[in-house]
Each structure stands twice: as C-alpha cells, then as structure tokens.
Chains A and B, each alone.
Chain A
C-alpha cells in the first residue's frame, strides 16, 4: 500500500526520485547488511512510517497528559483533571472541543457524574498499551523459545512441546483469555498482560518451529556444524537471524490482536474491571448511555481503532521490508494518473501507459508491494 492508501496520491514521480530508487536497488546488490536493507525498505514504506509517527505521537500524548502511575509512585502530567475526580458538568457533559483548536474545559466531554472523558480515555489507553506490550513481549519470548527448541532438536522434545501447543491452540483464544481474565482481571493491567501473554504464544511457536525446521537443513548450517560450532552458536548466530523476519512480523500482528483481545475481554467484563480503567472497560461502562451521550462510546472506540490500525500498518511495512521477493510497483503509470492525464488532455504519456503486466521480480516496480 502506498500513495492511495494514505490519501497521498499527489506525489509526482520526479526524475530525481526514480534515480534515488535506482541507487537503492543498486546498493542492495552492492552488498549492504540485511539489517540496513530491511531498515531502508521499512523507512520507505509510507503507510508504515505514517502509522509509526501517529503511534509515537499518540503514546506521547497519552503518557504526558495525565502522567504516570508506577507502583503507587505518581508522575503528574500537564492535563488539569484526573481520571477519577468528578467535576461539575460543563454544558451538560457535551464535548467542549470546537474544531479545530478551541479545546475548552473538557474536549472529549464528561460522563454522567462529571468525570473528564479525556483523562479517562488517556488512562484507559495507558492500561491497554501496558497489556498489549506485556502480552506481545511474553508471548514472543515463549513462542520463540518453544518453537526454536522443538524445531532445532526435533525428536521427543518436539513431540512433547508440539502436543502441548496443540492442547492450548484447541481452545479458542477468547475463551481461554476470558477464563484467565475472570481470575486475575481485578489485579490490574500488568497482571492481566502477563497472564494473557502466558497463553498467547502457540501460533508464534508453530511458525518459528516451521522456520527452524527448514533452516536447519540448509547448507550454511551444515557448514557451521562441520566447522565445530556449538548448538547454541548455530541457533543464535546462524538460524535465529534468518528467522527474525517471521518473528518480528508475527509479534507485531500478535500485539494488534492483543489490544483487540483486551478490549473485548474488558467489554465482556472479564478483563480490567472498574474502578480501574481500560478502553474496553470504558465502552462497557458507558454502553447503556449510548443513545443519550454517544461521545462516551466514540472516543474510546476511536483510540482502540487508531492503535490497532497503526500496529497493523507497521506490521505490513515490516513484512514487506523483510520479504526479499517484494519489489516496488510502477507509480507513474497508475490508472488514476492515466485518467487524469487523459482528462486534462496531456495524452502524450499514454504511449507507455498500456496495461503492461510485469513479473514481481521486475526491478522497474516501485511503490508499495502486496501483502
């Protein structure tokens, strides 16, 4: 995805840019390290970069506005209201935000007892991010270890670990998560994130195992083994760097699933429960007020969507960056540009604008690749 997707279709393909593109392609051939190639490809992925910027600004907003609370230790933020303090209703609780920049007292509005919704949404987003990050980190570590061990050592270790994985994978994630959330949900976001992470790893473990099974048969692993490398050296220096793409991409997607999972659990009442706040819990709490105070429903929902969408786009960018087969598409000959050229009478470009079908390996492609 590129131009169209981010509403950025106007960018002209200048001579300079196509030269730039060419040099990148040439540099890839020149032999940069894989990390550099991946990083450059990622930074050129417009959708992913835009998502990254949005996500970082969201995180800044969320963590500076109402401050932080770590183990009872409190860092104040710049926002005037706390997420628990009730204040007199301003304007009947309606959002006071007048577009574009006149925020007023309560930009997102207030709930029926006068708590500031902006502060509550910020707090909820913090909690949701905590659950998401812990879930992602723990599930990734367990998934990699289980997948790597069973894929590398095979044999009975593999059998035992994979049967155990089957055991967990057979229960729908939301069911297992709901049962665990019912047990530990009232203990707060950190505990919930850790516990959910403990059951979120099986799909990743299967992927990593598959990757290890195919990589360990490759010649470079044989070469390393013949040269006398130990198992741990082969795993960490030879196989894992080659499997890192799969790991990073699926961890990202796992995290976007995690934020939706947390929201769904809290919505059902099996996740974070009042008086603590999370995005799903907010929607659950204000569910009945929907027809009278719709803003109570919209803001938390929009934050969930924004975060999940950003992470999905970043995951997509990473997938493209790690996939050596992906090349870029011809941006100049896109259908809309042809139409535009035709409508405005500049039909000279039509000469080379036929529906040319290029193979994906064709280096003349530029722009966003497929998913």
Chain B
C-alpha cells in the first residue's frame, strides 16, 4: 500500500508539472498582458510598458518563463515560496490565501450538504423504485442537469433573495397558501412512505394536518420575526432525532439504546436554560464547539452505562443524538440574534453579494448568522447540480446492490428489512459513491468559478476570471496549481478509499 501511494504521488508530481506547463503556454498565448497600456494615452506609456515587462519578465519567451515561475514554486522546499506578482504588482500569495479560504468554505459546505441530501434522496428513490416519488425526483434531477449554473444563480438572486426578503418584512401566508403547502407536503410524504392504498391515504391526511398545524403555529407566534427553539422544541426535536437515529442504527426494539438516546434529548431540554449563561455575547468560537463535543461525550457515557449487553451500539446512538441535540442548542442561540441582525442589515437579511456584511462586528452568533445568509444562495446554486448527480449515482448503486445474492441471503435468514438495508445493502452501496464523491470534489472548485462571479465572492474563481481577462499569468497559475493539486490529491484519495472499503480490490 505504501509503495502504491508513493508511486502514485511521484506520478502525480509529473502530471502536475505537465499540466501546469500546458496551461502556462496556452494562457500566455491567450492574449496580450500589455493590452491596456498599449491603448493608454498616458505620456509615460513607454516607461510603463517597460516597467511591466521588467516586473513580469515578459521579454523571456513563454516556455522559458514557465521555468522561472516553477523556480519560485519549488522555492517552497528551501523556505522561499514565491508565486510572483500580479500585473499591478500585488503579491499573489497574499491574494490567493484570502481567496482560498472563501472558496474552500463555500465548496466544503456545499459538498457536505450535497452528499447528505444526495445520498438520502438517492437511497429513498431506490427503495421506492418506480413510485411517483421516484419519477418526480428523476425528472427534477434531469432538469437540474440541464440548468446552466449562471441561469440558476441569477434567478435565485433576482427572485428568491428579493422575494424572501419581502416575505420577511411582512411574514404572512394567506390561508390558501397554507392549504396548498400542506397538501403538497402530504403528497410528498405519501409518495415517500408508499405502501398499500389505505396507509397511503392515512399518511397523506396526517402529513397534511401536521404541516398545516406547524405553519399555523409559526405564524401565530410570529416565529419568522423572532425565531428560536426554546426548551420545549429542543426536547421535542431531540426526541424525534433520538427515535430516527435509533430506528436506523439499532431498531426501536432495542429499548436500552432508545432510552439512552431519549435521555440525551431530555438532558438537552433541561440544560437549555442554564446554557444561555454560558453562550454569552462575548463567547469565542471555542464555546459552541466545546458544547457539542461535551454533549457527544456525555451521550457516549450515558449509552455505555445504560447499554448492558451491547454497550457500544447504545453508546454510538446516544453520542450521535447528543451531538445533534447540542447542535440544536447552538442553533437556537444563533436564531436569537435574528431580530438584531435584521435591523443591522436594514431589513434585507438574505444577502446577494459577497461573503460577509462589511463592518458588521458583533458576537460570534451574529457572525455565524451573517455567514449563513451569505452562503445560502451560492450554496443552493452549487447544490442543485451535485445533488442531482449524487442522487442518481446512489440510486443506481443501491439498486445494483439490492439484487445481489448476499442481500437475498440476508432476507432469507429472516433479518428485518432495516438490518438488510442499513447493514448489508447500504454499506456496500456506499463504496462506489465514496470514490465518485472524492473524484468530484476537486472538480467542484473549478465549477465554483461561475457561482463566485455572480455572487461577487472574492474567491479563487473570481481571481481566475480576472487573471484570464488581463492575461495575468501569475495569479492564474496559482489558481491552476491549487485546483489541480487538489484534484490529484482527491483522485489518489479515491483510489485508496476504494481499496480500503472494498477488500476485493487490491492496489498495485
């Protein structure tokens, strides 16, 4: 394995060298970096041109100039990492390190959410193959495949942001709207849960009523103006999380695991009030992180103590529940600053430009909310396409696995459907998904170029676009270096992951 990794790394270095050389030469021929100066009417035009030629060493032919650039990059090994300067003389390293953080933030969040939603949707469509839900999801994923990214982005910016902000200034849903939303939600739940006609109708009716009740509650309590969870909702949502986590991981039959998880929900509700004094406005980032970790550890301990025969399983379930309940408490704290935030953003909380509100300041809770409102639209844009492809892949993969002999064997042994799906089918279906996702992440950074342009994020994408427009090779190459290095790295990761997850595959 080690020799495989080393050999692949060595090969990757050569691939990176080759790829960067190709791009360098191509980009150098893409246009004239002196174009703006040649057209200028400044009296010292010749001097300016000469200065820029001197600065960027434009008198050296492009293939040779590549090696000068490469010398700067390889300087990393002797502690003098140099990516050159931009046309305007700015250091590329400073430029790119700020931008990289923004892009990585955007891409990471989008990928994580896309994987979660994509896998869940894909798996449920596979389990409900040929249902109305399946067809609807298939149609929408085809639609999302065919949507140009910039089109979606502009639509979101012009309609969703403005519409949602208008809604928030006067949050009222007319009765007919509530009826329609409830009916749609009832229909969606009915198609997901499936089964015989009679239970379907029951699901439809109850889901419709529950949705209507929730909407009514939110509107009556002015929830959209003062959102929050409170001890009561944290307890309720925590209990729901406990039931879902237990039923997926051990099954509700395992009472001890269920009680351990429910205990964590109760603990969250009980500790909600005292924790408000810990999460003050002057708290640092460490506080929410510590809180979630503490809930995770407490969950593991509670599960271990209550678990008797299968301590590990109960501990795992309770730990997951605990961490999620801790997350709910933090979420509640962030929601509490919403009214202030709306005032600070002059009533237009959903942002369409940039990565943060300039000069906002305030507590970390407000900062988190600010990042959220800025990330919302670009993340949705990036999500649509990834969710479409991940859900297709996971659907195909689970369908393939469900027809394998070992799944039939598991059913024949009399295992419950939950065990068959979650333990035998799901894990095996995830193997190809893991590798596909690893391949994808590298490409996603390149794909963020358009999204960043439209939402005016000063990320790597906009650096690339500016650089290409002005044929400014140094920042362009820094962009290429980072994206292709990440691509190579994730490809390698995909290969390793594949052999680790599937013992039948041996790397050589």
Contact = CB atoms under 8 A, between A and B. Distances in A.
Given A5-B138, A355-B196, A359-B403, A183 B29 contact: yes
A269 B469 contact: yes
Contact of A367 (B26, B130, B147): B130
Given A5-B139, A309-B142, A312-B145, A176 B23 contact: yes
B179 to A, nearest CB: 19
Contacts of A267: 148, 150, 450
A370 B395 contact: yes
Contacts of A297: 154
Contacts of B26: 176, 179-180, 183
A170 B399 contact: no
Interface of B: 11, 14-16, 18-19, 22-23, 26-27, 29-31, 129-132, 135-136, 138-139, 142-143, 145-151, 154, 158, 191, 194-198, 200-201, 392, 395-396, 399, 403, 442-443, 445-447, 449-450, 453, 464-465, 468-469, 471, 479-480, 483-484, 487-488, 491
A291 B158 CA distance: 8
A308 B23 CA distance: 29
A268 interface: yes
B469 A304 contact: no
Contacts of B151: 283, 301, 304-305
Interface string A246-287: 000000000010001001100111100000000010010001
A305 B146 contact: yes
Contact of A305 (B19, B139, B147, B464): B147
Given A182-B468, A308-B146, A268 B443 contact: no
Nearest to B20: A171
Nearest to B408: A359
A173 interface: yes
Nearest to A304: B148
A228 B194 CA distance: 58
The SS class assigned to the B binding surface is helix
A260 B154 CA distance: 15
Contacts of B198: 342
A322 to B, nearest CB: 15
B468 to A, nearest CB: 6
A179 B392 contact: no
Interface in A150-168: 163, 166-168
Interface stretch (A74-82, A113-121, A211-219, A331-339): A331-339
Contacts of A4: 132, 135-136, 139
13 contacts: A5-B135, A5-B138, A163-B11, A167-B15, A171-B483, A175-B479, A175-B480, A182-B31, A260-B146, A304-B151, A305-B148, A308-B145, A355-B195
Contacts of B149: 260, 264
Contact of B23 (A179, A283, A312): A179
A256 B27 contact: no
Interface string A65-80: 0000000000000000
Nearest to B484: A170
B145 A256 contact: yes
A290 B150 CA distance: 13
B146 A371 contact: no
A335 B200 contact: yes
B290 to A, nearest CB: 38
A240 to B, nearest CB: 26
A174 B135 contact: no
Nearest to A334: B130
A1 interface: yes
B194 to A, nearest CB: 7
A135 interface: no
Contact of A171 (B136, B196, B403, B484): B484
A31 interface: no
B158 to A, nearest CB: 6
Q: Which of B15, B136, B194 has the most CB of A within 10 A?
A: B15
A172 B483 contact: yes
B146 A268 contact: no
B468 A280 contact: no
Contacts of B145: 256, 308, 312
A1 B464 contact: no
Contacts of A280: 148, 150
A245 B148 CA distance: 27
A329 interface: yes
Contact of B135 (A1, A176, A330): A1
A255 to B, nearest CB: 12
A350 interface: yes
Nearest to A300: B151
A49 B11 CA distance: 46
Nearest to B130: A329
Given A167-B15, A170-B484, A172-B446, A335 B194 contact: yes
Contacts of A167: 15, 18-19, 22
Nearest to A2: B135
A270 B26 CA distance: 14
A126 B163 CA distance: 35
Q: Which of A260, A263, A291 has the most CB of B within 10 A?
A: A260
